[in-house]
Amino acid sequence: MNSHDIKIIENTIQYEFNNKALLSQAFLFNAENDDDIRTNEILREIGKRAIDYSLVDIIVSYYGNLCKGKPFRMNNGITATHDILNNLQSKDLYRISVNVLGLTQYIESITAGEIDDADRKLFESIIGAVTLDTNWDHKRVSQLVSFMIDIDYWLDHGFDSLDKNPTTKVYNYSVEANINQPLYSYKKVKDEFGNEFINCQLKLDISEKAFEGTGNSASEARFIAASNCYNYLEENKLIQDIVKDAGEFNIDNAMDVLDNLALKGYFTLADYDTKEAKDGFTATVMIDEVDSRFEGTDADKHKARSKAAYKMVCYVLGYQVPSDEDLNK
C-alpha cells in the first residue's frame, strides 16, 4: 500500500496511525491461509474483542451513566439493551460501514483466491490495528467504532432498514449507476466566533462539485453531506425507480414493459424462445442479467410470450410470480 492510499484511508476513518505498517497489514488478506503471519488475521482477533468492549462502552455512555446505588436506566426509556447490542454487532452493519466509506477497494491479497466476508473482516482488522496502534486506548477505539458504524444514526433511527441511512443510499446509488464509490474527506473549520466544527466533503462522479456538511462531529458532518448529495440525486431525477418506471402493467402490455425497462438501462432486451406444445405454444423469456427464466403456455403464440413476459415483469419488480393456473383464470 502506497503513502497516498494511506493518507486517504486515514482521512476517511479519521485516525492517523503512528505505525503505518499496521494499517497496511489490516488490508492484507491471504485468501487460502489465514494463519500466514503476513496477513490481518491476528488484527482481526484483537479487533473482534475490542469491538465488543467498545459497543458496551458506547451504549453505557449514550443512555446514561452507571451511578452508585442506582440501577442502570436508559435516558429514553428503552430497556432492550440486549437487542440493541445484537443489532450493533451485526455482520451486515460491519459490511456496510467499510463499503460506505469506500475502503474495500484498497484490499490486498497474497494469493488470488476469493476472500469470504472480506468487507466484514476488513472492519475487524482495522479496529484491531487501531487498538494496537493506540496501545489499547479504549476511549479512542470506541470513538472510531462509533464513527465507522455511524452509531449515532442507528441509535436515533432504529434498525428497521440498513438502507435508510443517507450514506448507504449514496453508496447504493454508486453501485447501481456503476460509478466510482463516494469519497469522503474531512477538515476542521471555525465559525466567525472561533467555534470549531468538522467539515465533510463528499465527492461523487455525477457532479464536479463536492457535497458538504458541517457538524459538531465527523459523523454529523458526514450525515449532512450524504443527505445533501442524495437530495441532489432526487431533485435532478438521477435515481432510478424500476417500479415507477414500469408503471401499470398487465399480460397484454408486459412485453412492452420489458422493452421499455431495457431502454431505460435496467437490463438488456428480453429474448423469447417459442416452441409448439401439446395444447398450443410454450414461450420462454430470458434476460442476460436476470438469473431466472419464465415460461408461458397458450394456444396463441403471442399470448404465450405475453404470459412469460408478465411473469418476468413480476419477478424483476419484486412481486410474487403468478402460477400458470392464476394466469389462466
Residue 296: count other Cβ atoms within 10 Å of its Cβ: 25
Q: Within this chain, do residues 216 and 251 fall inside the same structural domain, yes or no?
A: no
Q: Within this chain, do residues 51 and 100 fall inside the same structural domain, yes or no?
A: yes
Q: Within this chain, do residues 85 and 18 fall inside the same structural domain, yes or no?
A: yes
Q: Within this chain, do residues 266 and 312 fall inside the same structural domain, yes or no?
A: yes
What does R_g of the chain's alpha carbons equal in angstroms?
Answer: 25
Distance in angstroms (rounded) separating the CA atoms of residues 289 and 297: 23
pLDDT band at 131 (very low <50, low <70, confident <90, very high): very high
> What is the span of the domain harbouring residue 170?
163-239
**pLDDT number for residue 69:** 57
Q: Within this chain, do residues 208 and 264 fall inside the same structural domain, yes or no?
A: no
Strands 294-298 and 280-286: antiparallel
DSSP 248-278: S--TTTHHHHHHHHHHTTSSPPPEEEEEEET
Say what percent of the chain tops pLDDT 90. 44
Burial state string for 246-272 with b = 16 or more CB within 10 A and e = fewer than 16: beebebebbbebbeebeeeebbeebeb
Indicate the average pLDDT of the chain.
85
Distance in angstroms (rounded) separating the CA atoms of residues 266 and 304: 24
Check: pTM over 0.85? Answer yes or no. no
> Residue 278 has which C-alpha cell?
401439446
- What's the DSSP call for residue 285? E
Strands 108-109 and 28-29: parallel
The CATH number for 46's domain is: 1.10.1520.10
DSSP 24-54: HHHTEE-SS-TT-TTSSHHHHHHHHHHHHHH
Q: Within this chain, do residues 37 and 144 fall inside the same structural domain, yes or no?
A: yes
CA dihedral 175, 176, 178, 183 (to 10 degrees): -40
Q: Which of 116, 136, 157 is the last residue of a domain?
A: 157
**pLDDT number for residue 18:** 96
The CA–CA distances, whole Å, from 304 to 260, 267, 294 equal 20, 22, 11
Tell me, what amino acid is at 273?
D
The CA–CA distances, whole Å, from 181 to 132, 171, 220 equal 29, 6, 20
Question: Dihedral sign, CA of 59, 97, 117, 159?
Answer: positive
Q: Which of 55, 6, 18 is nearest to 132 (CA)?
A: 18
Phi, psi (rounded to 5 degrees) for 294: -135, 150
| Per-residue pLDDT at 319 exceeds 70 | yes
Q: Which of 196, 222, 239 is the last residue of a domain?
A: 239
The CATH number for 168's domain is: 3.30.160.20
Q: Which of 239, 272, 288 is the last residue of a domain?
A: 239
| Per-residue pLDDT at 273 exceeds 70 | yes
Q: Within this chain, do residues 196 and 85 fall inside the same structural domain, yes or no?
A: no
Which tens digits make up the pLDDT trace of 152-167? 888 777 776 677 889 9
pLDDT band at 76 (very low <50, low <70, confident <90, very high): very low
Rounded to the nearest 5 degrees, what angle is found at the Cα of 154, between the Cα atoms of 227 and 238?
A: 25
Task: Say whether 298 sits in a helix, a strand or coil.
Answer: strand
Q: Within this chain, do residues 149 and 167 fall inside the same structural domain, yes or no?
A: no
**pLDDT number for residue 77:** 45
**pLDDT number for residue 22:** 96
Q: Within this chain, do residues 231 and 249 fall inside the same structural domain, yes or no?
A: no
Which residues lie closer than 8 Å to 298 by C-beta, 6 or more apart?
Answer: 280, 281, 304, 306, 307
Q: How many domains does the chain have?
A: 3
Measured in whole angstroms, how far is the alpha carbon of residue 107 from the centre of its chain? 17
**Burial of 325 per CB tally in 10 Å (0-12, 13-18, 19+):** exposed
**pLDDT number for residue 324:** 84
Which residues lie closer than 8 Å to 129 by C-beta, 6 or more apart?
Answer: 17, 22, 23, 25, 26, 40, 43, 47
Provide the residue count of the chain: 329
Q: Within this chain, do residues 113 and 46 fall inside the same structural domain, yes or no?
A: yes
Half-sphere exposure of 153 (CA within 13 A, CB side): 25
Q: Within this chain, do residues 24 and 172 fall inside the same structural domain, yes or no?
A: no
Q: Within this chain, do residues 218 and 310 fall inside the same structural domain, yes or no?
A: no
